[in-house]
Amino acid sequence: MDNNKNNSNSWEDGKLMRHLNSLIVAHLRHNNLIQAATAVASATMIPLNVDVPPNKLIQLVAKGLAVEKDDVLRGTSSSLFGDLNASLPVAPQPSTTAVDFRQLFYFFRYSAVLDTKGVSKSFPKHETRHLSEHKNIARCAKFSPDGKFVATGSADTSIKLFEVSKINQMLLPDTKDGPVRPVVRTFYDHIQPINDLDFHPQGTILVSGAKDQTIKFFDISKAIAKRANRVIQDTHNVRSVSFHPSGDFLLAGTDHAIPHLYDINTFQCYLSANTPEVGPNGAINQVRYSSTGAVYVTASKNGAIQLWDGITANCVRSITGAHGTAEATSAIFTKDQRFVLSCGKDSTIKLWDVGSGRLVKQYVGAIHTQLRCQAIFNETEEFVLSIDEMTNEIVIWDAMTTEKVAKWPSNHAGAPRWLEHSPVESAFISCGTDRSIRFWKESL
């Protein structure tokens, strides 16, 4: 009886394994990862053209994760907290046209032989238009979460607020009502250059961080307001700001090596009591929350990328020398918060696995050694965008294959200092050392 039972179990296990391998092959083939699909098909004797719904594997994994999450919440499982990724809540699903970085997570974590090289996608052509100019270098930009507004900050201490619908109207070949002015507000309240901007996730508040050691809150709903209605006085040059998704807290990255966490109702500042040893020049170039606020990331002048728990504010992972001895200039999460995309003055852009801290992908072929360069995703996360300071070009890579798929003249006099992509459409902003602001949108 026992032998029959064991044989039955072995047969069922084999059947299950064959079904799993079929799902993997179909999934890889559907995502144009032909080399990886062929390798798995050959190793498991599964037909390369196996008839399995292409999204079935992702659907089953998502259901499994949901069940695991419920088990954790009920206290029936303790094994999931073995790494940082498992403790992260499930982020909202990307749109159907977006790259699902979860596929990269599973294949990276559980298989060392799979090659994610495939057929690169083509980045659509864009048209560009000069929007406006500051009186000094245009240093930063930020879209509102709904994509209806975009703001730019300058070394001239001013902030310009643009209405995106008016920008789109300006791009039309024939405007019946005469010239369109997309700048709807200009704010003046800082006394030193603006370093970063962010919009409140649910409201009409724009915040700015500046070299004058202040964080200022502007109400964009008031048509005549040109000055801040609230001010946080920090103790350091405020290099970067990021709202928690709830809107109740604000992170500030400063010349101090530890992120400053503010309660925006009381303005009380909290500092982590558990911080890694920081060498010289640990100033934070950028700080960004993940989509759920469960974790945040910092990119520092000493080249480190650090991950911080969004609840305890403890540093949970430090990637020392992420960009060698060069500055790490930017760091952002993928929408599913499983990966971080970083940029550095070593002329590399890197994708890191949040759970293990291991390097997953690297995007090369653009020189950036001087400016506080940004690496960003497009709205679907299918592409990575950055700049080449030497050629004064905007460079685009396929996010999955890492292949460089486009290089465009920036149309700035000198390399752009900042790129910022719309969260809702195929459009982005470039800010130049030539003081100008340009809008880029997919050509119809």
The sign of the dihedral angle between the CA atoms of 258, 199, 197, 407 is positive
Look up residue 211 and give its two tokens.
Answer: 């070299």
What pLDDT does residue 279 have?
66
pLDDT band at 56 (very low <50, low <70, confident <90, very high): confident
What pLDDT does residue 109 have?
47
In the predicted structure, residue 90 carries a pLDDT above the cut 90: no
How many Cβ atoms are within 10 Å of 42's Cβ, its own excluded?
11
More confident of the two residues 230 and 15:
230
Residue span(s) of the chain under CATH 2.130.10.10 come to 126-245+260-277+340-442
Q: Exposure pattern of 225-252 as b/e (b: 16+ CB <10 Å)?
A: eeebeeebebebbbbbbbbbbeeebbbb
CA distances from 11 to 20, 40, 128 (A): 14, 21, 61
In the predicted structure, residue 334 carries a pLDDT above the cut 60: yes
Beta strands in 246-313 (DSSP E): 249-254, 260-263, 269-270, 284-289, 295-300, 305-309
pLDDT band at 425 (very low <50, low <70, confident <90, very high): very high
Quote the CA–CA distance of 436 and 141 in Å, as a whole number: 12
Amino acid at 85: N
What pLDDT does residue 99 have?
66
pLDDT digits (tens, 9 = 90+) for 278-301: 667 889 999 999 999 999 999 999
In the predicted structure, residue 83 carries a pLDDT above the cut 60: no
In the predicted structure, residue 174 carries a pLDDT above the cut 90: no
Quote the CA–CA distance of 14 and 143 in Å, as a whole number: 51
Q: Rounded to two decimals, what is the model's pTM?
A: 0.78
Amino acid at 221: S
More confident of the two residues 69 and 322:
322
What pLDDT does residue 64 have?
73
- Asked if 89 and 69 count as a contact pair (C-beta separation under 8 A), the reply is yes
Mean pLDDT of the chain: 86
Give every CB contact of residue 407 below 8 A, 6+ residues apart in sequence: 388, 391, 393, 394, 395, 396
* Candidate CATH numbers 3.40.50.2300, 2.130.10.10, 2.120.10.10, 3.90.190.20; the one for domain 126-245+260-277+340-442: 2.130.10.10
